[in-house]
Structure formats: C-alpha cells, structure tokens
C-alpha cells in the first residue's frame, strides 16, 4: 500500500501540467518485472521517470546506483541530470524497488547544437537503458505515449518558418579591429602589424565571421542563433570573454528594429547567475548564454539587431563599432 501511495504522489507531482506527456512500458526478464512511467515536459524540456522493479522468482537480486540512459529511436541521447539510486538494493521474491531519474531532453542533436533546445519532434517511444543499475549486459525498456496525446501535442506545435544567419558590412573587420584597438579592448603586437601590412586583403585567422558567430582576434566570441515561427523569434545568444577584465552584457537591450519600432526581448533563460545595473558581468575566460524571445507575429525574413548598447566595458565603452547587425532568414 505504501508503494502504491508513493507512486501515486510521484505521478501527481509529474503530471500537474496539462502540457506534459506520459510514456509507459514494462518488460519481464530474468525473473524481474520492470515497469516505467516517463513524464515529458516540452516546456521545461525535461523528462522524469519512475521505474519499479519487482522480483518474481526465488533468490536475491541486486541493484546498484547508476546512470539510466534515455534515447529516442534515431539514437539521440538526453542528458542525465542526476544519478539514480534504488529505494532498496537487494530484492527477494515479491519485493519491489523504486528508481527515479531526470534528464534534459535532446530529440534532435543538430537542433540542440545550434539553439540549445531539445527540438519539438517528440517521438512515439523512448528507450530506457537500465543496464547500469541492474548490472545486466543489455536491458532496454521501451515506453510509449498514446497516439491521441501525441497528436494533440503536435497540433499545438508551431512549425519553424525559417532560421536566421548574420550579415555584416564588407568592411566590418577593418572597422571593428580599429575600434577594438583604439578603445582599449585589445592590444596590437608588432608581428601582427607586419603581418597585416603584408596581407591586407586576407582575412586574419584570428578574426573570423561565420553564419552565426563573430570571433574577434581570438579574444571575444559572440554568437546569435535564431529561428522564427508564426508566434515570434527565438534567439540564442552566446558571449565568451577571453581578454577584458570584465565585460558587461545586457541581453534585454538587444532589440529588433522593425520599421520605426524597436521590439524588446523576453529573456527566457540565462546561464549567468547574477545581473547588476550594467548587465551580466562576464569576467575574463567566462562564458555567458541567454535564450531570448521576441513576440512578433509572422516575423519578416530580414531583421536588424541593435547590439551596440548591449556589450559594454566598465567605462561604458561599446564592444561593437557598429550599431546594428542584420539577420537574414533562410530555409535549411
């Protein structure tokens, strides 16, 4: 009775939000019955599982602490957020043990790499690999969601219209390098001066611009990874400081210029722990990451990001020489 009550309370805790999907499954092997209930929260991008092991045969069966892997049929593996510890480690006939586990979901590794998000393509089933806690060579447990619940969720998902990549003026490197040197963001060395004079037309190997990123002299890295749905624009921003004693970043000041309007973002997620009046302080060799959302219905393919007031020194000197960076939409 106690096991039933605990399981019921755990289920209520996990399913308190209507946006969550429940996956269930069971398997009997080697004299044990394994049952699992996985509750997936697309909004939080987390999965929580309650696994029960019941001994069906005579003889002792041993469990151990370990990591339970969660995978989708394509092979993408979610990130475990804790080690699983059984409620008991030795089972005899008729006894049960409960194991809980939590993951940060990854459904599409390529999407996760760009945007830091799991991807909305929830599968029909997941695989739970229990071998680490049962000490068996291979023990996958398949859990499935009801087709009705999955279809209902899929109807609410807004498809991606297009992704964004950055576009900069042709002379951006020269303007930005001069700005960084004159404003004290970087110091130029003699060998760099000579090399620059000899190869003025070449792109410096320490100053690179990609579809989503800007690496400035190997000392400052800023990346913007964005996509649009009919509800708005999601933008992941990453900033790495390798040079300055301190760099202040205020993501709330990265506005989008649409005609005469400037749209402010909603900061959905921040990996930086503390913000002061100037913004989030990024010390030398630190990294900051934020997830922003702009509530723009049916956004255009080409946008202008206001960036100059976002990245500042202790003396309020802008990191960027230009005021705006253009985002161009494309369909992968």
Tens-place pLDDT, residues 133-171: 998 878 889 999 999 999 999 999 999 999 999 999 888
Integer Cα distance of 324 and 317 in angstroms: 16
Task: Kindly report the pTM of this predicted structure.
Answer: 0.82
Place of tokens 């000197």: 317
Instruction: Say what the pLDDT of residue 201 is.
Output: 42
Q: What are phi and psi of 70, to 5 degrees?
A: -120, 125
- Please give the pLDDT value at position 190: 41
Average pLDDT, consecutive stretches of 10 residues, N- to C-terminus, the chain (332 residues): 37 48 96 97 95 96 95 95 94 97 96 92 94 87 97 93 94 90 76 47 63 92 96 97 94 91 93 87 95 95 92 95 94 84
- Considering the chain, what percentage of its residues have pLDDT values greater than 90? 76
* Residue ranges of domains in the chain, CATH in brackets: 2-156 (2.60.40), 162-330 (2.60.40)
pLDDT at 136: 81
User: Which residue, 15, 144, 125, is CA-closest to 71?
Assistant: 125
Specify the pLDDT at position 188.
58
Nearest to 29, CA basis, from 2, 56, 10, 47:
56
How confident is the model at residue 214, as a pLDDT? 94
Q: Are 288 and 247 in contact (CB under 8 A)?
A: no
Angle at the Cα of 309 (from 307 to 312), degrees rounded to 5?
A: 110
Give the span between the Cα atoms of 288 and 283, in whole angstroms: 10
């Amino acid at each position: 009775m106690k096991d039933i009550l605990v399981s019921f309370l755990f289920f209520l805790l996990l399913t308190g939000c209507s946006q969550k999907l429940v996956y269930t499954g069971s398997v009997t092997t080697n004299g044990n019955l394994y049952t699992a209930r996985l509750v997936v929260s697309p909004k939080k991008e987390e999965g929580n599982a309650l696994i029960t092991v019941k001994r069906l045969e005579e003889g002792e069966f041993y469990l151990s602490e370990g990591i339970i892997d969660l995978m989708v049929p394509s092979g993408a593996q979610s990130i475990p957020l804790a080690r699983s510890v059984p409620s008991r480690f030795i089972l005899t006939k008729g006894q049960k043990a409960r194991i809980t586990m939590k993951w940060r979901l990854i459904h599409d590794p390529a999407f996760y790499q760009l945007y830091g998000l799991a991807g909305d393509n929830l599968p029909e089933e997941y695989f739970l690999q229990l071998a680490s806690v049962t000490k068996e060579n291979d023990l996958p447990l398949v859990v499935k969601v009801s087709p009705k619940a999955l279809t209902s969720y899929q109807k609410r998902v807004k498809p991606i219209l297009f992704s964004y990549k950055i576009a900069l003026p042709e002379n951006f490197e020269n303007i930005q390098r001069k700005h960084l040197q004159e404003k004290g963001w970087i110091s130029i060395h003699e060998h760099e001066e000579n090399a620059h004079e000899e190869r003025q037309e070449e792109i410096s190997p320490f100053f690179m611009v990609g579809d989503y990123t800007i690496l400035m002299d190997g000392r400052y890295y800023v990346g913007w990874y964005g996509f649009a749905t009919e509800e708005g624009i999601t933008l992941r921003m990453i900033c790495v400081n390798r040079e300055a004693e301190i760099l202040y970043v205020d993501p709330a000041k990265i506005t989008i210029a649409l005609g005469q309007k400037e749209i402010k973002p909603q900061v959905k997620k921040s990996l930086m722990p503390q913000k002061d009046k100037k913004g989030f302080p990024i010390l030398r060799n630190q990294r900051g990451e934020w997830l922003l959302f702009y509530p723009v219905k049916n956004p255009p393919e080409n946008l202008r990001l206001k960036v100059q007031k976002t990245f500042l020194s202790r003396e309020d000197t802008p990191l960027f020489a230009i005021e705006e960076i253009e985002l161009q939409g494309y369909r992968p």
